[in-house]
Structure 1
Amino acid sequence: MGGGEITKRGSGLVLLAVIPFPEDAAKDTIAEIKEEFPDLEYNYIFQKFEIKKNGLPGGDVDVPADLLKRVNVLVTLSWLPAKESAVPNIKFIQFISAGTNHVAKHPIYTDTKIPLCSANGVHGPQIAEWVVMMDLIHNHNYIDLYKKQEKKEWKHNGELSSKDNVGRTVGILGYGSIGRQVARVAKAMGMNVLAYTASPRKTPESKRDDGFIVPGTGDAEGEFPSAWYSGLDKESLHAFLKLKIDLLVLAVPLTKQTTHFLSSAEFALLHASNPSGTYIANIARGAVIDQPALIAALKSNQISGAALDVTDPEPLPADDPLWDAPNVLITPHVSGVTQTTGERCFQVVRENLRRVRDGRGLVNQVDRERGY
């Protein structure tokens, strides 16, 4: 792969952003990038956000071939050139999504060695707030209270049914940037934090977060969990689920190993270890949960409820039985989108431009074999 030399003064790079949000959504950080890299050529093309029939994000967009030949850095959600030869000077591709499973079958992913970087770390604060919001809505029976408000009813049955989080346990499947911010907020509410990762984290170095971190958030040193667990095998997962977890947060990437990570056997274990009911929040991908098994678990009260920002498939069809399952809250994959998302995505771009300039490794580079 080609590209000009990068100096301390500037970059001489050509950057192309093909993204589904207005350029103004990141105007401050883009201005800072242009000031820091005065030789950078910046190009922006708007891609309308659409969900294709296969459930993946996309949208038709026309990118000039002559521009592609000069591009060194591509910033994108889902759009990719058809083949590597279209981008002979590419240095890296920066996705604005936390995961890259939506492009895992694309030739750029499967047949090239072009460095791919995620926006992991960008979405931690807002998604953690979504998780805690949903948990609080559930614990404080807010849906019932809001229905009474709609009816203009000042009515309290006198039952001590609401729960606070002090002393309760949150189990976080996938202790990445999102899980770490959930842990920070949960710890502040007095909760016990249990972390679960794919591979063991037995040393201080292995527990650190080396990815992009929004300042003042997360758990960079891995200090919040009272205990760490790991493994992609069912035996390890089941040992974790036996720990009487009150809030189970799914924040794992979707891979072959994590597809239907939770199914009937796992819901049965959660019920056995916590008969009062585990609450499940899924902000990973819909297919991490066996959806028919989830519906059955909700109907049989094996779990106390579920908050889902992701489903299988997406969009969720209007006639899907999940809509009518008891104690379920569903949002249309929006937990990671706020007014600050655009700025933070380009903060990752800026960090990687600095690292290319300084000859350092890229942040959030995807390991194609692991899938994240």
Structure 2
Amino acid sequence: MGDSNPAKGLLLAVLPWPEEEVRDSLKQIEKEFPELEPQYFFEKHAEKESERGKFEVPDDLTARAVVLATLSWLPKTPEQAPNLKLIQCFSAGTNHLAAHPIYQTTNIPLTTVSGIHGPQIAEWVIMMDLIHSHKYLDFYEAQQRCEWSQARGMKIRDKVGKTVGVLGYGSIGRQVARLAHALSSTVIAYTASPRDTPESRRDNGFIVPGTGDADGSIPKKWFSGLEKEKLHEFLSEGMDLLVISVPLTKATTHLLSTPEFQTLHASNPHGTYIANISRGKILDQDALISALENNLIAGAALDVTDPEPLPKEHPLWRTKGVAITPHVSGLTDVYAQRGMMVLAENLRRWREGRELVNEVDRRRGY
């Protein structure tokens, strides 16, 4: 994009969207930040995470890069990018980059686009929950058989007065809460650290206009803590829907296993429906399958699995009560444009020496 100008700092973008999808956004950035020269590379999306980030960028451009916008690609070593001052990752999590030398051995600020996923993921969660509670799949299958049966609708459960537990009350969880609240459900929230004051409950990250719960006023109850006892207090609230939206770290790996499913069942024998839009490893999948087979939970909507892609022979495909989508809940036709909005905001803050939006704490892993 544009003629190369060595006097300018290079904004290197290596992203899996055709350049025409972000051309207008890049032009706006170039206009607002004339000291930066955007160079865009289209890295075709790979289905397997292990195959991502293999794109080759010319060494001279890597060496000149001051700002990097990326989803998976990083220079092979810090030495290849001696001028790099800011990395804007176009995902909510950075666990896929955590083993990279740039992540592990440098202090280059690394930010995410957390905040842009709330609308589409919240819609996916509510959609899957409604499909389950309104028995849509039963009716769809009946339609294929040209079968009219009103009796199937007698067990439909609406959302008024139901309890929605949001495990991880970030931008995604807040938009889920907004939609659940609109359906007259009661929302309860769980966070790793306490949110005891109104100020601590505010969302200070990027918010898509008109969405979320900026002041944290929707949840009827808040729970917090890293101990299992605290988690089980939250899971004992008799929730009808449990939404998993915590980042994947060592502490959250297999955060939910048999004891947690048993706790859910004890508090709601009717069955909790689980929606996981975070990472597959947060659920102990063997324990999940067992919980479903033994009716400890009502069902599970999984947009993420362990591993990804899920092998055809994996038993999860054939487990009753499971609905699987291929890690698509966060996708939308305006994803790249919203990501550019976060990049532009961070460029403003970086230029002015202010705190960045969504800067990753490498020690915590998010």
TM class by shorter-chain length? over 0.9
The match for 2:170 among 162, 176, 182 is 176
Q: What CA deviation, in whole Å up to 9, does each residue of 1:64-100 have, x standing for no partner?
A: 1111111111011111111111111111100000000
Q: Which amino acid aligns with 1:77?
A: L
CA contact (8 A) 1:74 1:93 kept: yes
Partner of 2:230: 236
Secondary structure in 2 matching 1:275:
coil
1:66-85 to structure 2, matched below 5 A, reads: 66-85=60-79
CA contact (8 A) 1:49 1:57 kept: no
Q: Does 1:19 align with 2:30?
A: no
Partner of 1:317: 311
Q: Which amino acid aligns with 1:176?
A: G
Following TM superposition, by how much is the alpha carbon of 1:51 offset from its aligned partner in structure 2, in angstroms? 4.0
Partner of 1:292: 286
Q: Does 1:92 align with 2:86?
A: yes
Q: Which runs of 5+ in 2 are unaligned?
A: 1-6
Secondary structure in 2 matching 1:50:
coil
CA contact (8 A) 2:53 2:74 kept: no
Partner of 2:3: none
1:195-274 to structure 2, matched below 5 A, reads: 195-274=189-268
Q: Which amino acid aligns with 2:32?
A: E
Following TM superposition, by how much is the alpha carbon of 1:201 offset from its aligned partner in structure 2, in angstroms? 0.7
Q: What CA deviation, in whole Å up to 9, does each residue of 1:245-271 have, x standing for no partner?
A: 110000000001100010000001100
Give me the TM-score of the superposition, normalised by structure 1: 0.94
Structure 1 residues 310 and 121 mapped into 2: Cα distance closer, same or farther (>3 Å)? same
How far apart are the structure 2 equivalents of 1:336 and 1:57? 20
Secondary structure in 2 matching 1:336:
coil
Structure 1 residues 203 and 12 mapped into 2: Cα distance closer, same or farther (>3 Å)? farther
How far apart are the structure 2 equivalents of 1:306 and 1:69? 46
How far apart are the structure 2 equivalents of 1:307 and 1:355? 38
How many residues are aligned here? 360
Structure 1 residues 28 and 154 mapped into 2: Cα distance closer, same or farther (>3 Å)? farther
Q: Which amino acid aligns with 2:56?
A: D
Q: Which amino acid aligns with 2:19?
A: E
Give me the TM-score of the superposition, normalised by structure 2: 0.96
Q: Which amino acid aligns with 2:200?
A: S
Structure 1 residues 159 and 61 mapped into 2: Cα distance closer, same or farther (>3 Å)? closer
Secondary structure in 2 matching 1:216:
coil
Partner of 1:154: 148
Q: What CA deviation, in whole Å up to 9, does each residue of 1:273-304 have, x standing for no partner?
A: 00000000000000000000000111111100
Percent identity between matched residues is 60
Q: CA RMSD in A?
A: 1.4
Q: What CA deviation, in whole Å up to 9, does each residue of 1:191-240 have, x standing for no partner?
A: 11101000101111211111111111111111111111011211111111
The match for 2:117 among 114, 123, 126 is 123
The match for 2:37 among 26, 33, 41 is 41
Q: Which runs of 5+ in 1 are unaligned?
A: 1-10
CA contact (8 A) 1:48 1:60 kept: no
Q: Which amino acid aligns with 2:23?
A: K
Secondary structure in 1 matching 2:242:
strand
Partner of 2:351: 357
How far apart are the structure 2 equivalents of 1:128 and 1:63? 36
How far apart are the structure 1 equivalents of 2:139 and 2:81? 56
Following TM superposition, by how much is the alpha carbon of 1:39 offset from its aligned partner in structure 2, in angstroms? 3.6
How far apart are the structure 2 equivalents of 1:164 and 1:316? 32
Following TM superposition, by how much is the alpha carbon of 1:59 offset from its aligned partner in structure 2, in angstroms? 4.6
Q: Which amino acid aligns with 2:266?
A: A
